[in-house]
Amino acid sequence: MGDLSKLRTQVRREKNPAKARILQGFFKTGKGEYGEGDVFLGLTVPQSRKIAKAFSNLDLASIRSLLFSRIHEERLIALLILVEQFKVGREAARKKIAKFYLKNSRSVNNWDLVDLSADKILGVYLLDKHRGLLRKLAVSKNLWERRMAIVATYQFIKKDRFEDTIAIARLLLRDEHDLIHKAVGWMLREVGKREKAVEAEFLQKYHKIMPRTMLRYAIERFPEAERKQYLG
């Protein structure tokens, strides 16, 4: 039995139908919802990580097969394997993985999949490169590519480099989707945890036109009086 078959056997061995039903609702898989058609088997993220580590040497062709799976956990495991391979890879290997990730970005199609991979692959890869790519993703018609753009900047924030987060947050100010509002607010909050003056400058300019959810996420750690001032 090949590694891909063994991996899939392991995934199905650990399925949990009761948890799967909960996840189907939590990730909005109903008709017309953002995760429409996504199928869960009920594995936890730690279970998925354990499988990913066990199969961390899986080849890209097999990873691609997992990324095209209807099973959410198979796509997640594929991305976790990519993260593992990227982490230990040299520059040529990292470039190959980053290109592969972008080429298959349509399969990174739920918020957890984006959040567990975008900064760890794209963010790290672009740290010392031109980041115009993130601006392109930020204006994509694809919801998940837009979320990918802002979440990838988490790596820059960790290095106290905030300009890309601020620029992409500005591009996404009028986005209509709640999942973008949450992601932008989250990244602005991370900026503020490291350099509150940078976040405050952004909020002073845009808090009146920001979606309410974005603003609430951004100011979540502010003192209550300051939160009320922004929300008033």
Burial label for 14, CB within 10 Å (0-12, 13-18, 19+), is middle
Predicted local confidence at residue 145, as pLDDT: 97
Q: Distance between CA 185 and CA 93 in Å, rounded? A: 33
Which residue(s) pair with 39 in the sheet? 71
Predicted local confidence at residue 232, as pLDDT: 84
Burial label for 92, CB within 10 Å (0-12, 13-18, 19+), is exposed
Domains of the chain: 1-106 (1.25.10.90), 117-232 (1.25.10.90)
Structure tokens at 194: 């490291």
Candidates 167, 169, 94; CA nearest to 129 is 94
* Helix pair 143-152, 178-194: axis angle to 10 deg: 0
Residues of the chain with pLDDT under 50: none
Predicted local confidence at residue 38, as pLDDT: 94
In this prediction the pTM is: 0.94
At 191-220, the pLDDT tens digits run 999 999 999 999 999 999 999 999 999 999
